[in-house]
Amino acid sequence: MISIEEVAKINNLINSCDELISGKFILSEYKIAKILRDIGESKEVYKLLAQCMQNFNFERELSRAEIALPRKKFVLPEEPEKILPFVFCLLMEINNKKINLNSFLSDYYSDEENVDPFSKFANEVVKPFRNIIYNYFKDADEEEEQTPAPQQVEEQQETTASIEKSEEEEKIDNFFSECENICKDILSELEYERKKDLVDDAKYVVETMITACEEKNFRTLSALIISFGAMSESLKSIRFLTRELKNILISFFG
């Protein structure tokens, strides 16, 4: 059964999605970042996304979603197991400024008069994502409550859970280690950065990320990686390393 703490974290994510769906374009960037933070906080949502990210190719699905003829429109994948990782990656790209949200809305969601493009985007993209997560955990929780497992099955599940936990812990350790090493490389590169006015702020963020790695604070680290992407675009010497850092975060769900 899902723990009370996890239920609260999943509800936080659902509420964050609802806030974006019912809101306006203003503060949309903040609301998207909040959704991504909530995803990073929930182990259960992470596990679900990790399953869906296997063999998932965002670039390929994005090219399929962008339809130009007879008019531009944006179509999500049909399969729920593709919608989850697709929307997650799309929100990551928007949050990291790889996709300009204003231009994206203008290209694909401004074809109808008197219809707010952001509202249309939220309902056609974020709402299906939200509903899949809500229904998945609602059904899973009800199934666990209604179907008591025999003792032997419980013992097998405990053994499997123990193995999975060990593998999961190793994966998490490797994630923090890789991130810390890249952060240290970034600090080294910043010593030679010409834009000295931006270096101090960048160093502070990177040093905070290293501390998060040492403390294994996934919530703080993932939020900093996401926000640091925009900052690093002005610092040519660390762009590549910062993209590697983002790729490690995305791969962590794969």
Asked whether 192 and 241 are in contact (CB, 8 A), the reply is no
At residue 164, the pLDDT reads 55
At residue 183, the pLDDT reads 93
Instruction: Give the chain's residues under pLDDT 50.
Output: 147-149, 152-153, 163
- Tens of pLDDT, residue by residue over 143-177, are 555 544 455 445 555 555 554 556 777 888 888 99
Rg of the chain, C-alpha, whole Å = 20
Beta bridge partners of 66: 74
At residue 147, the pLDDT reads 46
Q: Which residues does 5 contact at the CB level (< 8 Å), separation at least 6?
A: none
